[in-house]
Structure 1
């Protein structure tokens, strides 16, 4: 090898620049000369040569570091070069520069070990020159200088515009419009005319914005209107179109208002709530069926619903007779008078009576005592027959619940129908539950065979009134005793053939559980309170007092 200025020159081989691919060179503990020079005088390296090697190492390290850290478009881009440093196990840290502690260190391996000194060597322009790694077509683009690694404002805007256009094409389903593709598959403009945004995208964006603003404005307007504006309401008493509106049990004013609005009666539920709160009786509206007109003002609807007579229901009161019930059904259903009574007598066996119901031919009405007293809601589908069936079913169910059939013999009665008959007598004569219990005791005591005071005659005025179809208190007792009829207990002994009304729950329970006080007589002196006695003498005194009060009322025109 030639000598220059007393120094032997070692041309740089291309393997040195890629020595990271040959790990066997990195593990050698010391610099070794070529085997050909073994036994010959070794040339000690001069400081100038050491500095030259160090300079070459620094140059390669910086190039590898720059290639390794190069970024493109804000994303990490690996150039494929592995940093080479004095210590291969150490490597480079991303944010660290060249470590000065290796500046004066000797190389850890001989890059020329095992090389043929007589082989053809690639000429270099100057010592330490790196080959061009980006000359081939498949190579990555060269890294930008440090001062150009961040995009200029104009370039950044152009690249962001490219990204926005690509996103727009993806959203609208657009395809390639002829733009060139950059290396690495990255699409962008290459000096062409700037791409305009799609008019369809602008239209869609405008529609979305208008929709959002419009929807928000509508709901905001609705909220303000509902919060501060007066509720929508009709005027007047409604049009000439009637609908039946059913208010269920437990419904509040708000639910009532919604039901009425759905039926077309009121304009808004809030208007009904406001009107009901303004009416003193508004909170006492009862559940049931109301015949109301459409498009009524809320106040008019409340006025109708607070009037019990306008409630489209039929209420059977305790002790009411069947004749009164039939007339009420005809009126409520707008049927000719006598329609319901005819159906009751004609279809009695088909209306659901229990098997133990009395079929005595002396019965004045086979359904008497079986039209259970309660409120019945009427609808457009209600008929006399359907109402009668419902009433009979309710009575039969209640009698079965109370065990009427099994307790008849316990009470000394012949059959269950007599239990209902006693209850009807008690309900007709008494005024409250306490009266009912004492009244039932009177009936049982007078029915006993040992009764020699009335000779087993009940002697209730209510039975005579039932036969006559009246409700008189003052009548001629002599005439009553002379009137012969199976139901007239002033004339015949024992119970009448059947009930004289429809007893309620209080009268039924009192009949099943009498007072057992030994009572035989009773009289209501003042027409309000009933007084019970055990002896006939006590009873006569009360009768005299009662007659004196009645005479005084007659004289005073009362």
Structure 2
């Protein structure tokens, strides 16, 4: 059983109550003239009809039912373009008439709804509220604000906006600047504006006025945007369709050496030339190279060019042997020989470069691990990296040496010399470069380098059963003697006391004995593991490796017989 309220003094409703009508859900009957248990005032109990799924099946409390129904009726009427006007009382109670509302929801008939007003009970807190149509208090729903005059049939009135203290301003929806609305709006919407003004009067903000400064800012921003688009559009056109920036002529006379690495394409070559100041743009060089029939034949190496050359001139000079007239440092060459080559190329007095190397070696870029080693003949040995260098008259010896040391240091770092030395049983990277120099000196071909490196590591072991820690390399003796002999007697080798003589001292010499190339360095970093202890070259081009002294002696006898020794 549904209760109509739980206010103080309320009682449950009963079907046998004499106030209950017998009209059922289909009839409408006003219950008047009955005595109410609440102060003798007549009570009217409306019967609430449920339409479809609108209701919840429960009756509202006194006073609340009429208000809720009033809101529902007003909302439905406004939504479907109909306006309902309640009958007004003059200080006395009137029964609300029953109005039949046809709902436009797809053609189905919602039926009629009964509505009866009744006053509130003083003892019921919910009954203290004024009824929707009660004459005992002011009727807030009978005012013109609630029921304005009907609008023309062809204009549907929008749902009333809820009151709020927040004013969205003129930018609500469409921006005010583009909406076209200002203080001089036409009179067609006077009623809507009056309603908005009335809302602002209840706590809202006044309408914002568009200022000339705002318009000016918009124009400036818009104009700046157009200027920016035009500028970048021009740059895009220049980049895509305009000529690439380029110098004019054959250069400004200032020579510069540029190294082109292996496998470099036109763009890589262009970047190297631009970085050195030879060409003005990469695209200009690529275009010139593509336009030259022999442009793709440019090889890796060091080129002597000039700064501020046109791209076409740079391509032609790189294809000419004149740009490749560089100083070539071969693999395994000693520093003493390189110093003489530099002197000759720079056209300076013999011994000039050697003196610079001896006095200024600490200023030429050696890494920390390559300095301060005892008994070293030449601190720069092993750091004048084998390659091609653009060396010409007018340069300083220290500049040429710096370039070579830098190339060696970069190669050692790239190959991981410093990181891998300890894993190979060596004390430091300096010893690893020394091993690589021995591999370079004793090996006859690149295929020998890994086996030669294993021979060195096996002989360096103090307890090895073959050499007892002695390397016994002729190359170390020849280095300290500054010679390159093959026929050396054992008596001569074993009686010369020098730290570099591995026939006299165990282990490695104090430092490198030449400048190893990349393949020799890689051989020292990755030796074979086959048990090699001995080697000999029978033809001067290849080497034969053996594991025991007996096997090695057979090859020595074969070699001596071929030379009629």
Larger radius of gyration: 1
Where on the TM-score scale, by shorter chain, does this alignment land: which range?
A: 0.3 to 0.5
Q: TM-score, normalised by structure 2?
A: 0.46
